[in-house]
Structure 1
Amino acid sequence: MTGRTPERSETRLLVPALMFIALVVAAVASLGTPLITSVATTFHVSLDSAQWTLTVALLSGAVATPVLGRLGAGPHRRATILATLAVVVVGSALTVLPLPFAGLLIGRAAQGVGVGLTALMMGVARDHLPEERSTATIALISVVSIIGAGVGYPLTALLTEIGGVRTAYGFGLLVTAVAFLTAWRSLPAAPEGRSAHVSVPGALVLAGGLFLVLFLTGQRSLWSRHLAVAVILAVVAVLLLCVWTAFELRSTTPLIDVRAVRHPAVAGANLAMFVGGSGMYLLLTLITRYAQTPHGAGYGFGLTTFVAGLVLVPFSVLGFVAGKLTPRVRTRIADPVLLAGSAVIVGGGFVLFAAARSNLAELLVAMGVLGFGVGSFSAAMPGVILAVTPKSETSSAMSFNYVVRSVGYSLGSAIGGLVLATGTDAGHLFPNDHAYTTAALVGIAAMAVTALIATALARQRPPEINPTAATATATASMPGQDRSSQ
C-alpha cells in the first residue's frame, strides 16, 4: 500500500494540472474579445484593426494546433508542451510591455499558439491515467477549453475598467507563467517507443491553407468591397488544401493521417463539430452583442463590457456541470447519441433567444442552456474519435478536431456578422431587432443538421467495440506508425 502512495499522489496532482493548463491557454487566447474597444482607444487604431488582436490569436492557434498535435504524439511531448508554454509566456510579456500596436499583435499571435496544447493535455491524460479516470478527465479538458472564454471575459473586462488594457494583459502574463511552472513540475514524459516526424513542407502548405480559410471567414468587408480578390484567395486556399491532402496521402509520416480521418466515426464527428461549432459560436456572439446594444436602438440592454461579461457566467457554470455529468451518462448512452442530444439542447437555446429576449433574465437562461449544450457536446466529442484512435495518436487526432472547431467558430462568427449586417438599414449603426431572429433561425437549422449527422453516426456505429481491436485496427490504418508504441 505504501509503495503505491506516491503514484496516487502524482495522479491526483496530474489531473488538476492538466485542467488548469487547458483553462489558461483557452482563456488567454480569448483575451482579445472584451478588450477590442479598449485596444482601439489605447493604441489609437480603428476597431477593425483592434479586431486583429482576436483574429491573429485564432489564426496562429489553428496553424500551430496540427503541428503540436504531431509533436505531441512523439517522445518529446513534455519538451513540446514546455516550449509552447514558454512561447505563450513571452507573447504575454509582449502584450504588457509599452510597445507599438505591431508588438501587441505579435504577442497575441504567440498567445494563440497555446490553444494547440489542449489536445496534448488529452494525450497525457490517456497515457498516464486509468481508463475510466482518463475518459472523465479528457471530457473535462474538452469542456474547459470551451468555457475558458467565459471565465476570462468578465475578469479581464473588470481589470480593464480598473487599470486599463495593460493591466488585463498583465493578468494573462501572470497565469501563463503559473501554467508554465505547473507543467514543468507536474507533467510526465511520454511513454517509450513513440516516434513522430513533422514534415515541414506539409506543415507550411497546411498553414497557408488554414490561414487563408480563417482570414476569409473573418473579413466580411473583403467580400463586399473586393469580391474578385476574395474569390482568388478562396481558390488559392482550396488548392493549397488539396495539395496538402495529396501530399499527406503519399507521406509515410503524415502530419495528420487523412486515411484515419476518413474513418466513418472520425469523419462524422468532425463534420458534426464543424456544423455544430458554427452554430454554437453564432449564438454566443448574438447574445453578447444583443446585451451590449444600447437602448437607443430600440432593443438591447446597453450593458458595459464587464457586466456583459457576467452574462457568460451561466454559460461557464452550466457548461462545467454538463462536463462533469456527461462521463456518467456515457455509461448508458452512446457518444453519438449524446452529441445529437446536445445539439438539440443548443437548438433549444436558439429557440429561447428567438422567442424571448425582452429582459435580461431571458438572455441569462438562453446563455445557460447554450452552456449546458456546449458542455455536453464538448465532453462527448472526444469519446467518438478516441474509440477508434490508438493512444499514441490521441494528440494528433484531437488536434485535427480542434482545427475543425476553429474553422467552424470562425464561420459562425462570419455568418452572424453577415446576417446582422444585412438587417442593418442604411444610415443606421445597429441592425434591426428582427435580424437577430433571422440569425437565430439560421442557428436552429445548423443545430438540426448537427443532430441529424450525429444520429446517422449513432446508427452506423457498431454496438460494441473491443478497445484492443480498435487500437490495432486504427494503428494498422496509419502508415509509418510504430507498433511498438502500443
Structure 2
Amino acid sequence: MRTSPRTLVWFLVFVGLIVAVIGSLGAPLITAVAEQYGVSLAASQWTLTIALLAGAVATPVLGRLGSGPRRRTVVLVMLGVEVVGSLLTVLPLPFAFLLVGRAAQGSGLGLVVLMMAVARDHLDEQRSARTIALLSVASTAGIGIGYPLSGLLTDLAGVRAAYGLGLVVTAAALLAAFFALPQAPPRPSTRLDVRGAILLAIALPALLLVIGQTNLWRNHVGLAIAILVAAILLLIGWTFLEAHTDQPLVDVRLLRHPAIAAANLVMLTGGVGMYLLFSLITRFVQTPAEAGYGFGLNTFQAGLVLVPFSILGFVAGRLVPGWRERLGARLLLMASTAVVLAAFVLFAVARSHLVEPIVANGILGFGVGAFSAAMPAVILAVTPAAETASAMSVNAVVRSVGFSTGSALGGLILAAHTTGVFPRESGYGAAAWIGVAATAATLLIIAVLPLKRE
C-alpha cells in the first residue's frame, strides 16, 4: 500500500516529536528518580546524560545506515529498540536497568535525520522543504511538550507513569512506521565503517561529558583540559580516518564545501547561545522566592513556561519555507539570530515578574524555530540526495556540542556567582549579557561566511 504524501508528512513529524519528547523525559524527572530509586541526584542525572550520549553516538551511525537501501528496516529496528528501552524504564527493576532503558531510548534520537532523508526521497521539493524544516524544529521545540506532560504525570502518578508516556508513544510510532514508512529508493548497499564508529563512540562522549561537567571545570581544571584535548585529538584522528576510508561513517569531504562548513560553524556558535538562555530561564523560574528572586515553580509549572517556546517555534517552522525564497539563507539566519538576541536582552533587563521570562522564552522559541528550520536548506542545497541523512547527522552532532557547551557555560557562570545554596541574581544578568555577546558574534559569523550555493 502506497502512503499518500499528506499521511507521510504527518508520520514524519510525529516521529520527530516523539524523539524530542523521549529525549526530554530525563530532565524534569531527575529529582523524582533519585527519590524513587534511592540514588543520589548525581546518579539520577545520568538518566538524562546517558540518553544524550547514546543519541550523539547513534546519530552518525543511523545516518550512514539510513543512506542505503535498508532504511526502512533500520527505522523499524530502532523504533523496536526504543520500545524495549521504554519498557525497561517502566518495569519495577533496579536503577541500572533504568539507565540501560534510557540509553536505548536515546539511541533513537538519530531517527530525525532518517525522517529528513525519507522526506527528501518521497516528497516533492516544496513539501519536502517544509517537512524537513518542521522536523528540524520539532527536534528542539518539542521538548516544550515533554516537560509539562512528564511533570504532570509524575505529580499525579509517579515517575514510572511519566516513563510510561515514552512507552506509549514509541509503540505508536513503531506501529505507524510499519504501515506508513516507504522503502528507500534503490541504491548501492553501504558498509558500516566499524572502525570509525568505535573511535567516534570514544571521542564524542568524552567531549560532551567534559563540556557538560561544571564541577570538573570548577574543581579540577587541569584534568578537564586534559580530557578536552584528548577528545579533540581523537576527533581529529577520526576525521583523518574518515577522509581516507572508501565508505566512511560520515563523508567528511562534504565539509570541504564552504556552505556546509559555514553552516555547521553557525550551528555550533548559535547553539551555545540558544541553549544558554533556555537553561537560564528554566532554572530561574524554579528558584524559590526565599533566594531573593525567582518564582519557586514546580516541575509541571516550569514545564508550562516552556509551552510558548514550542508553540512559537513551530509557528516559525511553518513560516520559514515561504520566507526563505524571498529573503535567502543568510538574511533568514541573521533575522532568526537577531530574534534570539532580543530574547537575551529582554531576560537581561527584565525578569522581576513571571510574565517577563515567559515572554523571553516565547521570543527565544520563535528565533530557535526559525533558525532550526532555515539550517537544513543551507546544507541540503549542496548535498547529494543519497547523503541527506549523513550530512544532517553531522549537523545534529554539532548542535549537541553547541547545546552542551551552552548548558555548561550557564552552569559555570552561575557557579561563579554562588556563595550559598542559590546563585545571586546578578549571576543571571552576567550570563545573559555574555549570551548577548555570543549571539552577536554569531550574527557577525553569519554575515561574513559563505552560506549560499556556489
Percent identical among aligned pairs is 59
Which sections of structure 1, spanning at least 5 residues, go unmatched? 1-5, 466-486
- Aligned partners of 2:363 and 2:190: how far apart in 1? 41
- For 2:54, which of 57, 60, 70 is the aligned residue? 60
- For 1:73, which of 34, 57, 67 is the aligned residue? 67
Residue 414 (1) aligns with residue 408 (2): yes
- Aligned partners of 1:324 and 1:442: how far apart in 2? 30
Equivalent in the alignment of 2:385: 391
- For 1:447, which of 439, 442, 447 is the aligned residue? 439
Equivalent in the alignment of 1:18: 12
- Aligned partners of 2:161 and 2:291: how far apart in 1? 32
Equivalent in the alignment of 1:374: 368
Residue 299 (1) aligns with residue 293 (2): yes
Q: Is the 8 A contact 1:194 1:392 kept in 2?
A: no
Which sections of structure 2, spanning at least 5 residues, go unmatched? none
1:225 CA drift (Å) = 3.1
- Aligned partners of 1:125 and 1:71: how far apart in 2? 16
Residue 163 (1) aligns with residue 157 (2): yes
- Aligned partners of 2:263 and 2:56: how far apart in 1? 18
Equivalent in the alignment of 1:152: 146
- Aligned partners of 1:230 and 1:215: how far apart in 2? 10
- For 2:426, which of 427, 434, 445 is the aligned residue? 434
Aligned length: 454
- For 1:31, which of 8, 18, 25 is the aligned residue? 25
Equivalent in the alignment of 2:114: 120
- Aligned partners of 2:445 and 2:120: how far apart in 1? 27
The superposition leaves residues 270-314 of structure 1 with CA deviations (integer Å, 9 ceiling, x where unpaired) of 011111111111111000100000000000001111011100011
- Aligned partners of 2:211 and 2:426: how far apart in 1? 24
- Aligned partners of 1:379 and 1:398: how far apart in 2? 13
Q: Secondary structure of the residue that 2:189 maps to in structure 1?
A: coil
Instruction: State the AA in 2 paired with 1:449.
Output: A
Q: Is the 8 A contact 1:209 1:241 kept in 2?
A: yes
1:262 CA drift (Å) = 2.1
Equivalent in the alignment of 1:198: 192
Q: Is the 8 A contact 1:55 1:218 kept in 2?
A: no
Instruction: State the AA in 2 paired with 1:456.
Output: V
Q: Is the 8 A contact 2:329 2:452 kept in 1?
A: no
Please say which structure displays the higher CA radius of gyration. 1
Q: Secondary structure of the residue that 1:99 maps to in structure 2?
A: coil
Instruction: State the AA in 2 paired with 1:200.
Output: V
Equivalent in the alignment of 1:483: none
- For 2:452, which of 430, 448, 461 is the aligned residue? 461
Equivalent in the alignment of 1:423: 417
1:29 CA drift (Å) = 1.3
The superposition leaves residues 327-370 of structure 1 with CA deviations (integer Å, 9 ceiling, x where unpaired) of 11011011122111111110110000001011011111101100
- Aligned partners of 1:220 and 1:204: how far apart in 2? 27
- For 1:286, which of 275, 280, 286 is the aligned residue? 280
Q: How does 1:229-240 map to 2 (within 5 A)?
A: 229-240=223-234
- Aligned partners of 1:388 and 1:243: how far apart in 2? 26
Instruction: State the AA in 2 paired with 1:461.
Output: K
Equivalent in the alignment of 1:476: none
Q: Secondary structure of the residue that 2:50 maps to in structure 1?
A: helix
- Aligned partners of 1:198 and 1:442: how far apart in 2? 42
- Higher mean alpha-carbon deviation, 449-458 vs 72-81, is at 449-458
- For 1:214, which of 202, 208, 212 is the aligned residue? 208
- Aligned partners of 1:449 and 1:76: how far apart in 2? 42
TM-score (norm 1): 0.92
Instruction: State the AA in 2 paired with 1:232.
Output: A
Instruction: State the AA in 2 paired with 1:216.
Output: V
Q: Is the 8 A contact 2:378 2:452 kept in 1?
A: no
Equivalent in the alignment of 1:482: none
Q: Secondary structure of the residue that 1:333 maps to in structure 2?
A: helix
Q: Is the 8 A contact 2:89 2:163 kept in 1?
A: yes
Q: Is the 8 A contact 1:73 1:194 kept in 2?
A: no
- Aligned partners of 1:52 and 1:146: how far apart in 2? 20
Instruction: State the AA in 2 paired with 1:281.
Output: Y
Q: Secondary structure of the residue that 1:254 maps to in structure 2?
A: coil
Q: Is the 8 A contact 1:299 1:433 kept in 2?
A: yes
- Higher mean alpha-carbon deviation, 411-420 vs 243-252, is at 243-252
- Aligned partners of 1:196 and 1:338: how far apart in 2? 35
Q: Is the 8 A contact 2:218 2:412 kept in 1?
A: no
Instruction: State the AA in 1 paired with 2:200.
Output: L
Equivalent in the alignment of 1:243: 237
- Higher mean alpha-carbon deviation, 332-341 vs 428-437, is at 332-341
Instruction: State the AA in 2 paired with 1:118.
Output: V
The superposition leaves residues 254-279 of structure 1 with CA deviations (integer Å, 9 ceiling, x where unpaired) of 11111211211111110111111111
- Aligned partners of 1:187 and 1:214: how far apart in 2? 33
- Aligned partners of 1:86 and 1:234: how far apart in 2? 35
- Aligned partners of 2:452 and 2:31: how far apart in 1? 47
- Aligned partners of 2:223 and 2:449: how far apart in 1? 38
- Aligned partners of 2:330 and 2:88: how far apart in 1? 43
Q: Is the 8 A contact 1:212 1:237 kept in 2?
A: yes
TM-score (norm 2): 0.98
Q: Is the 8 A contact 1:336 1:380 kept in 2?
A: no
Q: How does 1:86-125 map to 2 (within 5 A)?
A: 86-125=80-119
Q: Secondary structure of the residue that 1:12 maps to in structure 2?
A: helix
